[in-house]
Amino acid sequence: MNIKKVAVVGAGTMGVQIAMRVAISGYKVSCYGIKNETIDEKKKAEAFSNDWFFKKITKGKMTEEAVAESKSNLKFTTDLAEAVKDADLVIEAVAEILDVKRSVLKQVDELTPEHTIFATNSSYIVSSKLCDVVAHPDKVLNLHFFNPALVMKLVEVVKGPHCSRETVETMVKFVESINKVPAIVNKEIYGFIVNRIFSAITKEACYIYDQGVASFEDIDKAVKYGLSHPMGPFELLDMTGIDLEFNVLTEKYKMTGNPSDKPSPAIVERYARGEYGRKAKKGFYQYK
């Protein structure tokens, strides 16, 4: 495995945590974030990173030396060319919108060496829908981390029909090297393993709530104490992001045209109000 430099494209909730986890594991990492009139991903990512590392020191979870080394491995930038230059691996963590991901991959392919592996962190969009915009489709695959990426151990490694076995094997070793547990998905399928199962639960939970059968609080209690899940489906939606769920389902509806794939009214209402969950301090629940 010749992965030495890693670039993460997208410095939102997932991107910054993936970049930090990789840096802590000893890799040199550049994390690219957008900056415009309303959004400064780089500034938010740096603030999150500094606060997280400071808390690790104060709680005795990391030494000052370990934090200093991790920080030295991690660089945030708003210059895409600088971020991906000479990268052996690029992990894309931008919005869950097909056209956006295709555009990003096309730009990155023009800025990176021929040997670079491109891994999309998409939780639903399969890499075969992206690989035709690059020169070497055999080096494109899904590398799906889970939120929060600094905590959750699982990473789904998804092989499309275009992807080489060598690329998959390299990514499995990389996932293990950053102290994560790889689960290989040998065939592309919508939602892969975890989200396919989670989507079925979430869809039914939203239906029960939309029909007025039970409150979202009681549905969460039923799932936690009846099925022994650590979190209820609405708590989990708040954590992963209601905006992400809205975008995922909207993209699926565009793809299938099936009305049953549209986002639930409960999701649409909160998305329209900007109540995206924990990151917005309000979703199904309110957060201080």
Active site residue ranges: 123, 144, 156, 195
Count of beta carbons in the 10 Å neighbourhood of residue 1: 13
Positive or negative torsion for Cα 23, 27, 28, 29: negative
What is the spatial distance between Cα 153 and Cα 131, in angstroms, rounded to a whole number? 27
- Measured between its terminal Cα atoms, the distance across the chain in Å is 44
Count of beta carbons in the 10 Å neighbourhood of residue 118: 29
- Give the residue from 111, 92, 112 showing the smallest Cα distance to 102: 92
Positive or negative torsion for Cα 84, 89, 121, 162: positive
Helix (H, G, I), strand (E, B) or coil at 91: strand
Helix (H, G, I), strand (E, B) or coil at 184: strand
